[in-house]
Amino acid sequence: MERFDVAVVGGGIIGLATARAILGDRPALRLVVLEKESAIARHQSGRNSNVLHSGIYYRPGSLKATMASRGRASMVAYCAEHGIPHEVCGKVVVATREADLPRLDELERRAVANGVTIERIDPARLRELEPHAVGIAALHVPETGITDFGAVSATLARQVEAASGTIRTGRKVERLLGASTVVVETDADPVAASVVVNCAGLWSDRIAGTTDVRIVPFRGEYLELAPEKRSLVRNLVYPVPDPAFPFLGAHLTRDLHGGVHAGPNAVLALAREGYSWGRVDAREARSLAAFPGLRAIARKYWRTGAAEVARSWSKTLMARELSRLVPGITAADLTPVPAGVRAQAVATDGTLLDDFVIRQSPGRIHLVNAPSPGATASLEIGRHMSGLVLEQLDR
């Protein structure tokens, strides 16, 4: 059996950032990345909003808060160093009604506690920044940016290979066996590794064998704004999110090529890689239905969930929601483009795990929850995971 010091499961941006960090810390280690698809970054890392988040949303002191703000800075530096397109264009979070104001206040407090530069702005300043957005108050977050996380992943992969790491695509990990040396069973030959790092995204709970939490796949659908309406949005325009729900609400983001996307919404996917309503995995759907956490979510969020589903099926409803932020967007201006699916870990009591979650046992390190801003924070998560791997190897 082939032997490695470290095997990383998953060739998404975090698995690759982790592999790069490990080889940067200990160049002599024998390391393999096992990726089930024929190429890297085919799932969350290649199907997201490409936003470099600043860290305003997250609970002060949480891993998300520290890793997003540090990660954003290191990602901007990484993109600059490697010639990866990016822009620090800033964003606005817009309160459109009185009820949003206490939430905007709370967001402002969080941003300050997390050390993120922000400015509370009035409608006149909002018009200067985003001439077509309307609101009664807003936050301007100049540090937010946009990039191409697919290009970042490709650069990380090149660095891993240049540092003598092996990336094996088309290799699905089936299970982890053994103790002091872990046997990684795959759909081809098994490999042995002293430490296995599980960065399998939508399948991370399966690889970890968790029983108290489960990945619930939430699809995020996008609509592209017609070219003649692009001028309605200069950069990134967000609503004030519901703090009880870990998604940001339908927003408008410009990409590096001038295109403007609306979304992502958040609807339950009926397969882990369920990129459309038509992709249903009957076994997964049954196992989701039997998961007590999902029933608890359904009870708690049925109203929000029903509205998201309605907007998923009706461009008119989506256009109406977006028009609260930027009037003048109609259903005819919106064209569906490929969706992404978020790997959101949910506890059996229905709690949506808010923070990044890493679990360890001898020979195994599992990244159990790494939703947004996981791509922004990937270099920091990678550094942290490398530290845990070296601790285990040195024990």
Ligand X SMILES: Cc1cc2nc3c(=O)[nH]c(=O)nc-3n(C[C@H](O)[C@H](O)[C@H](O)COP(=O)(O)OP(=O)(O)OC[C@H]3O[C@@H](n4cnc5c(N)ncnc54)[C@H](O)[C@@H]3O)c2cc1C
Q: What is the DSSP string of 99-120?
A: GGHHHHHHHHHHHHHTT---EE
Report the phi/psi class of residue 390: left, alpha or beta, with left for phi > 0 and alpha for psi in -120 to 50.
alpha
Residue corresponding to tokens 């660095």 = 159
Helices and strands per DSSP (H, E), number in the chain: 10, 19
Least separation in angstroms between residue 383's CB and ligand X is: 15
| CA neighbor of 149 nearest in space, from 374, 332, 335 | 374
Cis peptide before 264 (omega within 30 of 0): yes
Q: Quick one: tokens of 359? A: 């679990």
| Nearest to 152, CA basis, from 97, 219, 81, 208 | 81
Residue selected from 133, 373, 380, 382 as contacting ligand X according to rule CB under 6 A: 373
Residue 165 or 264 with smaller CB distance to ligand X: 264
The minimum distance between CB 267 and ligand X, in angstroms, equals 11
Query: Nearest approach, Cβ of 228 to ligand X (angstroms)?
Result: 25
Q: Is 340 in the site for ligand X (CB under 6 A)?
A: yes
Q: Which residues of 216-225 are buried (b: 16+ CB within 10 A; e: fewer)?
A: bbbbbbbbbb
119 to 99, 104, 111, 138, 240: CA distances (angstroms): 20, 12, 10, 8, 15
Q: Are 318 and 248 in contact (CB under 8 A)?
A: no
Among 44, 66, 114, 344, interactor with ligand X by CB under 6 A: 44
Instruction: Rank residues 18 and 194 by Cβ distance to ligand X and give the closer one.
Output: 18
Total binding residues toward ligand X, as defined by CB under 6 A:
42
Indicate the residue among 34 and 137 with the shorter CB distance to ligand X. Answer: 34
254-268 residues labelled b (16+ CB within 10 A) or e (exposed)? bbeeeebbbbbbbbb
Q: Does 12 sit near ligand X (CB under 6 A)?
A: yes
Residue 32 beta carbon to ligand X: minimum distance, rounded to whole angstroms: 11
**Residue 376 lies near ligand X (rule: CB under 6 A):** yes
Neighbours of 351 (CB within 10 A): 14
Interaction mask 226-265, ligand X, x per CB under 6 A: --------------------------------------x-
Q: Which of 7, 29, 42, 236 binds ligand X (CB under 6 A)?
A: 42
- Single-letter residue type at 255: D
Tell which one of 7, 19, 32, 48 touches ligand X (CB under 6 A): 48
Member of 6, 7, 8, 11 binding ligand X (CB under 6 A): 11
Residue 34 binds ligand X, judged by CB under 6 A: yes
**36 counts as binding ligand X under rule CB under 6 A:** yes
Which CB, 20 or 43, lies closer to ligand X?
Answer: 43
In the complex, what is the shortest distance from the CB of residue 208 to ligand X, in angstroms, rounded to a whole number? 11
Binding mask 294-323 for ligand X (x = CB under 6 A): ------------------------------
Taking CA atoms, 317 is separated from 111, 267, 311, 313, in Å, by: 31, 15, 5, 9
For residues 112 to 141, the per-residue mask of contacts with ligand X, x marking binding by CB under 6 A and - elsewhere, is: ------------------------------
* Single-letter amino acid, residue 320: R
Which helix (H) or strand (E) covers residue 6, if one does?
A: strand 2-9
Stretch that binds ligand X, among 31-39, 96-104, 238-246, 322-330 (CB under 6 A): 31-39
Q: Which of 22, 31, 49, 269 binds ligand X (CB under 6 A)?
A: 49
User: Out of 4, 29, 43, 251, which residue is the one contacting ligand X (CB under 6 A)?
Assistant: 43
Rg (CA), the chain: 21
Distance of CA 350 to the CA centre of its chain: 20
User: Between 169 and 208, how does the x/- string for binding to ligand X read (CB under 6 A)?
Assistant: ---xx-------------------------xxxxx---x-
Kindly list the residues in this chain that would bind ligand X in the complex (CB under 6 A).
Answer: 9-15, 34-37, 41-45, 47-51, 53, 172-173, 199-203, 207, 220, 264, 340-342, 370-376
